[in-house]
A and B are shown apart, each in its own frame.
Chain A
Amino acid sequence: MEKFTRLTATACPLDVANLNTDQLIPARYLKLPRSAGFAKVLLYDLRFGDDGHERPEFPLNRPTWRGAKIIVGGRNFGCGSSREAAVYALRDYGIGCVIAPSFGDIFAGNAAQNAVLTAIVSDADAAELMAALVAKPGLELTVDLEQLTIECRSRTFGFAIDPVRRTRLLNGWDDIALTGSYRDRIAAFKADDRIRRPWAAPRSVHEDRE
């Protein structure tokens, strides 16, 4: 995975609470293979009308925000379904960072697996950032993961992120490679566990059980 350290880009305000992953990518697009690219289906039902035409009033469809790489969202951003395709859609669209007062846990975990930063700010700071973006469409923010800061014109805001997700993003870790170095400890755990919890293994599953 690529590393995330700092990002300066146009930020788009999406002032919606509980913007769930069903909105980020409607379920009917979940059949797509990863290679198909998910940029087009990001927020599909909010970006496009029934006839497939863009809704001009939706922020990401406004010319100033079309190329945004940062989203400032509402409370509980990315709640709901565990679909990682919600993050694929953001990433493929070009979004590298979402700033919000809180995030769905699974979504935030998935984001950290795909080099997308989820920056947690206070309700007051989110409102202030949102107001600044609306007042001056096209405004750029600088998000610094090492310093845990967001620069907005002359103001600097602090943000929080689970320290584990921060280290993963800063290092661009590949979990599977990382876990490879624990192979012996996993094997030892497994051997002990069989003695400690003999009941934990499922009884063999046969077709004819019922």
Chain B
Amino acid sequence: MDEERTLLDKVWAAHEIARREDGESLLWVDRHFVHEGSFHAFSRLAERGANVAEPGLTFGVADHYVPTRGVRRDITNPEIAHMVRQLEENLAKHGIVLFGLGDPRQGIVHVVGPEQGLTLPGLIIVCGDSHTSTHGALGACAFGIGASQVAHVLMTQTIWQRKPGRMRVTVHGEAAVGVAAKDIVLAIIARIGADGATGHALEFAGSAIRDLSIEGRLTLCNMAIEAGARCGMVAPDEKTFAWLKGRPCAPEGVEFERAVEDWSALATDGGAPFDLDVHLDAATIAPIVTWGTSPEDALPIDASVPDPTREIDMARAKYLRDALDYMGIAPGSRLTDIVIDRVFIGSCTNSRIEDLRAAAAVLAGRTSKVPGLVSAGSARIKRQAEEEGLDRIFRDAGLEWGGPGCSMCVGINGDIVPPGERCASTTNRNFRGRQGPGARTHLMSPAMVAAAAVTGHLTDVRPFLSGRKV
């Protein structure tokens, strides 16, 4: 084909088994991740007496309900213990590998997949979790699906999907010191809206994206879903290949060389068309925090929250009032005046080694004014952080050093923000009640959370970085 194609076009074409008249494609699925929440789908299989078509392409991870503290095998809450046991039983029954509690590879599914080299460029990856978009950072087409589709993938290793639209966000220039991938993606969401990429595959391009580490790109694509995108993608490059080389499940030797050859051809062709094309200048992006109840409610740290009385659009004014009311913030307040009750560093968005280093760089030799939890994204990252002495920095600052899991991002393992409390958090969703009923969440980068911990209020991290290696 001599037509110029996007990264999405190429990955899609390589997986299309059939296309129906109405435009829906039957796609081959290369990797399917399941977790405790996938039990509805296993129940469907049981009802039909069906088997898993490709147990070797399916991987289980215990993450949503696992404890992050204490002796992790001894789950005291019987309902939570049941969720973990149910996963173990379903996977054992179908012969699926489980990265379970106690396994040295256990962690958050979207951290473990890339870390183990299960996530590769050019693959189609699905999981019953919306943040599956994360895996696109390596050049995969990865998206979240519901239980009905999880059951379908388990039974057939395929999925029916209509090809999403093509959208590109190009971030030109260079991001300033103290501006992380999280700030870039929050700036993008604030610009295009929480539904700005709905129905589209969102490719991130430009020099500021190329400059990001793989960890940074994982953060970026993780949050693509918060802009409504079907998936987020970054074209694989030398950085991607170097990062993947030697990972446990990645190809090795000549097979790796062959793979790199194929992966190198995946990048979007020069003149390939996009349905939506957005441009941002990285130099204009400052550290960002959210103030409201949607990730699109994001502003630079030196700004003030909106004042509904100054809003002419009635519906928008009501939205602002409701959000500020839930968040317990006076209209027009300066963001830096917002006092916090606790901090959380973790989640599939920002729990990788680089995130922990960024937070530790700010916290070293300083004390947190509020309690908080640091939860590494995987057991492997936890070990690495301990080897680097990061755990000591967090502990010395007064924060708790926990085990890996979804933890306080979704609050279903028991790690919650108490009602009415305000948390500076590295997570992905500031929805009402997301971190626990009545909890108030401000999203920001790990370094910004660390700065908030040190001062006890939302703070610009940049002055805290002088003289430090970041």
**Interface on A for B, CB 8 Å cutoff?**
15-18, 20, 22-23, 26-28, 30-31, 33-34, 45, 50, 75-76, 79-85, 87, 102-106, 109-110, 113-114, 127, 162-164, 167, 175-176, 178-179, 182, 185-186, 189-190, 193, 196-203, 205, 207, 209-210
Contacts and interface: CB of A to CB of B under 8 A. Distances in A.
Contacts of B30: 200
A18 B37 contact: no
B409 to A, nearest CB: 10
A14 B362 CA distance: 43
A15 B194 contact: no
Nearest to B129: A82
Given A186-B158, A202-B249, A203-B248, A82 B130 contact: yes
Q: By CB atoms of chain A within 10 A, which of B31, B143, B146, B296 has the most?
A: B146
A199 B145 contact: no
Contacts of A190: 28, 157
Interface in B254-283: 255-256, 258-259, 262
Nearest to B116: A205
B198 interface: yes
A87 B148 CA distance: 11
5 contacts: A18-B195, A105-B228, A106-B143, A163-B22, A164-B20
B432 A45 contact: yes
Given A17-B294, A179-B160, A185-B17, 9 more contacts: A17-B315, A18-B294, A31-B83, A33-B39, A75-B195, A84-B128, A110-B146, A202-B57, A210-B248
Interface stretch (B118-126, B166-174, B395-403): B118-126
B251 A113 contact: no
Given A79-B194, A179-B160, A198 B145 contact: no
A210 B105 contact: yes
A69 B25 CA distance: 32
Nearest to A193: B28
Contact of A17 (B117, B259, B319): B319
Contacts of B118: 202
B8 interface: no
Contacts of B248: 203, 205, 209-210
B148 A30 contact: no
B230 interface: yes
Nearest to B380: A210
Contacts of B407: none
Given A105-B230, A167-B22, A205-B248, A199 B256 contact: yes
Interface in B166-194: 193-194
B194 to A, nearest CB: 5
A83 B157 CA distance: 20
Nearest to A87: B146
A193 B28 CA distance: 10
A189 B118 CA distance: 21
B249 A26 contact: no
A205 B362 CA distance: 38
B432 A109 contact: no
Contacts of B17: 182, 185-186, 189
Contacts of B40: 34, 84-85
A198 B156 contact: no
A177 to B, nearest CB: 10
Contact of A199 (B39, B129, B251, B433): B251
Contacts of B82: 31
A179 B156 contact: yes
Nearest to A101: B195
A17 to B, nearest CB: 5
B18 A109 contact: no
A26 B195 contact: no
Contact of B293 (A18, A178, A193, A198): A18
Contacts of B18: 182, 185
A104 B22 contact: no
Given A22-B429, A199-B251, A202-B31, A82 B146 contact: yes
B262 A199 contact: yes
B328 interface: no
Nearest to B263: A199
A176 B156 contact: yes
